[in-house]
Structure 1
Amino acid sequence: MNKNFSVKVAAMTAAALCGGLLVACTPETIGSDTTETSSSPISEKPTGRPGEPAPTSSTSALPATEETPEQEELRAQVASLMMVGVTSYEDALAKLQQGAGGIFITSWADPAILTEPGRDIAALRETVGRDFSVSIDFEGGRVQRHSEILGNWPAPREMAATRTPEEVRALAAEMGKSLADHGITVNFAPVVDLDIAELDVIGDRSFSPDPVVAADYAAAFATGMKDAGVTAVFKHFPGHGQASGDTHTGFAVTPPIEVIREQDLPPFGRALTGAPGEVMVGHMVVPGLGDESLPSSLDPAVYQLLRSGAYPEGVPFNGVAYTDDLSGMAAITDLMSTPEAVAAAIGAGADQALWSSDESLEVVIDTVMAAIEAGTISEEQIQESAERVQV
C-alpha cells in the first residue's frame, strides 16, 4: 500500500509541476518516487526532538519565472503557511526574508539564537520588520528543547500525578514565561494523547490514560501558557495513543474510527472547550476515516472532522491547524519528499506546514504554487489559511 501511494503522490506532484510549467516533464519524471532519509525514533542525536532529522542539503531551486502582482501576493500568502526549522540566526533570517510565516527552533539549533544579543530572536524581529511565529517543542520531561537555557520541568505524567490542574496551570505559566522571555511564541504542547497502548513514543508525555484527566490537565497547561503570552498547540489529533507504532519510525495505524471516536477524540474536544489553543494533526492512519492510505496530516477528512467538531465532546475548531513534522518522520518521508508532503498537507486543509530539515523553502513554495496552478489547491483555501495564521 505504501509503495503504491508513493508512486501515486509522485505522479500527482509531477503532473502539477508540469501544469505549472515549472519543470520539463517526461514519463520517467512522472513515474519517479522521491523519498528522504528518516531519523531515529526519538532523535537524531541524544538530545534531539522525537523524529527530528539532522539537517539535509537543500534541493536546487526551480527556475524562476516572471510573476504578476497578484501572483506575488499569492506567493507571499503561501510562504506564510510555512513553519520551517532553523539552525542559526543567519539561517532563520534567510528563511524569514523569503516570507516564512514562522520558524521552528530545532534541537540542533545554535543556542545563540535564544541568548546572544544581536543574533537572537529579538534581533530577527528588528531586522525582518514584521511579526512572525517562533515555535518549539517544550512539553516538560524528555521533550523540552534547549532546557539548558529554558529550564528543566517535570514530564506531563508527573505533573498530573503530583499537582492539581490549578497548580499545573501555574507551572505552565512559569514555563511559558521562560519561553516568552527568549522570544518564543508557540509551544507544540501539550500532548492530549491517551497512554492506552503503552507506546514508548507516548508514555509519560501523556498526562493520563484517563480521557477526562488528560483533557483537564492539558487544558490547564494550555491556559498557563496563554497566561504567559505563549500559544499552546494540542497534539496529536485525532489521537496517537492506540496507534500500531511510532510515526517517527514508520507507518502507524490506529484502531477503526469507531474506537477512536469514542476513546481518543473526546479529550481533544474537552481540552479545546476548556482552554485556548491551536491543534497539531499527527501522521497516524485512521481506518474508516477518509483515505486509508493517507496519514492523518495529509487527509482532508481528518481536517474536516477537526473543523466540524463532529465527535463526542467535540467543538467546531476555527483556529490554526498545524501538521506534525513533515520532513523528520518516516510515516511521511517513506511516502514522499518534503515539498510533496507540504503541498499535500496544505491541500488537505493544514494552515501551517511544519518541517525541520534544511529543505529549500523556495522549492517548497514553488511546489505549492504549481499545485495551485494545476487546480489541486484553490486560491480561496490559501487565503483562508493565511488569514488564520496572521499574528
Structure 2
Amino acid sequence: MKKVALKFLALLFIFFPLYSKTSAEKLFDNLSEIEKISQIFLVNVEGNEIFHPVEFLEDGTAVVPGGILLFSYNIGNSEEQLKNFISSINSFYKKNKSPLPFISVDQEGGEVNRLKKIASHLPSEKTISENYTLREAKSIYSNQAMQMKKLGITMNLAPVAESEIESNKLFLGTRTFGGVPKSVAYSMVCVTAYEENGIASVAKHFPGNANSDPHTGSVEITLSSSEVFKNFIFPFALILKSNPSCVLVSHAKINSLDENPACMSSFWIKEILQSRLGFVGLVLSDDIFMGALSDLPPEQVAANAIISGVDVIMLSGKKFLSVAQSLLKLAENDEVFANRLYEAEKKVLDFKLKKGIIKIEEK
C-alpha cells in the first residue's frame, strides 16, 4: 500500500509539478556566473560610433554590463549617429550571446540634458512646473519618450522627484519641480509619460539630498525624523503610485534615522522604500565613484549596497569586472549574500523581459 502511494505521488509531481520556473529563471540558468553578475551593473562605455568592450576574462571572453549609461560624449552629433552606435552595442551583445542591455541616459532637462543636440528642447523641471500645466507637461515628456524610443534608449534617469526645501535648494537648483505639491504632481505626470511610451523612468534621489554636492564630498541631512518624513518620504510615497520602473537611492546620510549612506542602508531600502512604501521595482544606486563614498573602496560599497537591497550598481567608470569578481568571491562564503545577489540578478532579467528588451528565446 505504501509503495502504491509513493508511485501515485510521483505521478502527481510529473503531471502537476509543484513549481514552474519563470522566464527569467529559465534564462538565468543558461548564463555563466560572470554573465549573471554583469546584469547588476550600469556602466559608461567608450566612443560614439562603434561599440568595443574594454574588459575580458583570461580566456579572452568579453565581459559586458547589464546596463549601459550614455554620457554626452557618447551621443554624437545626429540622431543617425546615436541610433547606429546603440545598434552596434546590441549587435555586439547578440554576437557575444549576452542578454541585451538596457540603454540609459540622464535626460532631466535644463542643465542636465544629454540629448540637447539631437532631441527637441527639454526645459528644466523648475521651468516646466512654473510655466506649463500638467497636461502640457505630460505632452512634453511623452514627446521626449517617443524620441528616446526611436533612438534605441530604454531608460531615463529621471525625474528628480525630490521636493525643494531650504536645506537642498542650492544643490538641486532648477532640477526639482519645486515644493511638495508641485513635486508630487509633476513627477507623477513625468513618470506616467515615460512609462506609457516605453521608457523606464527612474525616480530619484531617494530619500533626498542636502545642499552639499555628493560628487565632491559627504552629504548629511540634518533634518529631524518628522521633517524627513514630511518633506521627503511622504512625497515619494505618492509619486510611487505612478509606478516608476526604478528608484535611484542617494548617498546622503540622515543621522536622525540611520547613520549609513542611504544606498548602503537596509533601513532606507528594505524597511522604508520596499516594506512601508511597497516599491517592488529595480533599486539603483547613485554612482559609487562619487566623492560622498570615497572613504570606502568600490568593492565594499557595492557589497554593502547589494546586501542592503540595491539591485543595480552604477559606476561612471567603464570597468566593473574587479568589483564583480569581488562580489562573486564574497558570495562563495556567504549564503545570505549569495541569495541577495541572485535576487538582484533575477530582478534585472525580469525587468528586461517585462520591458521587451530581451526575450527568452535569445539564450
Output the TM-score relative to the length of structure 2.
Answer: 0.78
Q: Does the aligned pair in 1 maintain the 2:165–2:231 contact within 8 Å?
A: no
Aligned partners of 2:274 and 2:321: how far apart in 1?
A: 33
The amino acid that maps onto 1:317 is F
1:296 maps to 2:257: no
Return the match for 1:214 from 150, 165, 183: 183
Q: Does the aligned pair in 2 maintain the 1:233–1:279 contact within 8 Å?
A: yes
1:227 maps to 2:227: no
Aligned partners of 1:92 and 1:172: how far apart in 2?
A: 32
Deviation at 1:128, TM superposition (A): 1.2
What does residue 202 of structure 1 align with? 172
Aligned partners of 1:372 and 1:113: how far apart in 2?
A: 44
Aligned partners of 1:152 and 1:118: how far apart in 2?
A: 19
What does residue 123 of structure 1 align with? 88
1:262 maps to 2:224: no
The amino acid that maps onto 2:244 is P
Structure holding more helix per residue: 2
The amino acid that maps onto 2:283 is A
Deviation at 1:236, TM superposition (A): 0.4
1:316 maps to 2:278: yes
Aligned partners of 2:335 and 2:78: how far apart in 1?
A: 37
What does residue 307 of structure 2 align with? 347
Aligned partners of 1:261 and 1:79: how far apart in 2?
A: 35
Deviation at 1:275, TM superposition (A): 3.9
Structure 1 segment 45-56 matched on structure 2, within 5 A: none
Deviation at 1:380, TM superposition (A): 1.5
Aligned partners of 1:222 and 1:72: how far apart in 2?
A: 32
Specify whether residues 112 and 273 from structure 1 end up closer, same or farther in structure 2 by C-alpha distance, changes over 3 A only: same
The secondary structure found in structure 2 opposite 1:202 is: helix
What does residue 185 of structure 1 align with? 154
Deviation at 1:373, TM superposition (A): 2.4
Return the match for 1:272 from 240, 265, 268: 240
Deviation at 1:92, TM superposition (A): 5.5
Q: Does the aligned pair in 2 maintain the 1:289–1:302 contact within 8 Å?
A: no
**1:205-241 residue CA offsets vs partner (Å, 9 max, x unmatched):** 11012x122111001011111232111100000122x
The amino acid that maps onto 1:222 is V
Return the match for 1:252 from 196, 200, 219: 219
The amino acid that maps onto 1:204 is T
The amino acid that maps onto 1:322 is L
Instruction: Report the number of matched residues.
Output: 311
Output the TM-score relative to the length of structure 1.
Answer: 0.73
1:375 maps to 2:356: no
Specify whether residues 362 and 167 from structure 1 end up closer, same or farther in structure 2 by C-alpha distance, changes over 3 A only: same
What does residue 16 of structure 2 align with? none
Specify whether residues 147 and 248 from structure 1 end up closer, same or farther in structure 2 by C-alpha distance, changes over 3 A only: same
Q: Does the aligned pair in 1 maintain the 2:202–2:248 contact within 8 Å?
A: yes
Aligned partners of 2:91 and 2:134: how far apart in 1?
A: 38
Deviation at 1:388, TM superposition (A): 1.5
Larger deviation, residues 162-171 vs 71-80:
71-80
The secondary structure found in structure 1 opposite 2:140 is: helix
The secondary structure found in structure 1 opposite 2:88 is: helix
Of structures 1 and 2, the one with the larger relative CO (CA 8 A, separation 6+) is: 1
Aligned partners of 2:302 and 2:51: how far apart in 1?
A: 20
Percent identity for Structure 1 against Structure 2: 22
Aligned partners of 2:336 and 2:68: how far apart in 1?
A: 24
Aligned partners of 2:190 and 2:201: how far apart in 1?
A: 8
What does residue 101 of structure 1 align with? 66
Aligned partners of 1:322 and 1:113: how far apart in 2?
A: 29
Aligned partners of 1:183 and 1:167: how far apart in 2?
A: 25
Q: Which runs of 5+ in 1 are unaligned?
A: 1-68
The amino acid that maps onto 2:38 is A
Deviation at 1:103, TM superposition (A): 0.5
Q: Does the aligned pair in 2 maintain the 1:87–1:110 contact within 8 Å?
A: no
What does residue 38 of structure 1 align with? none
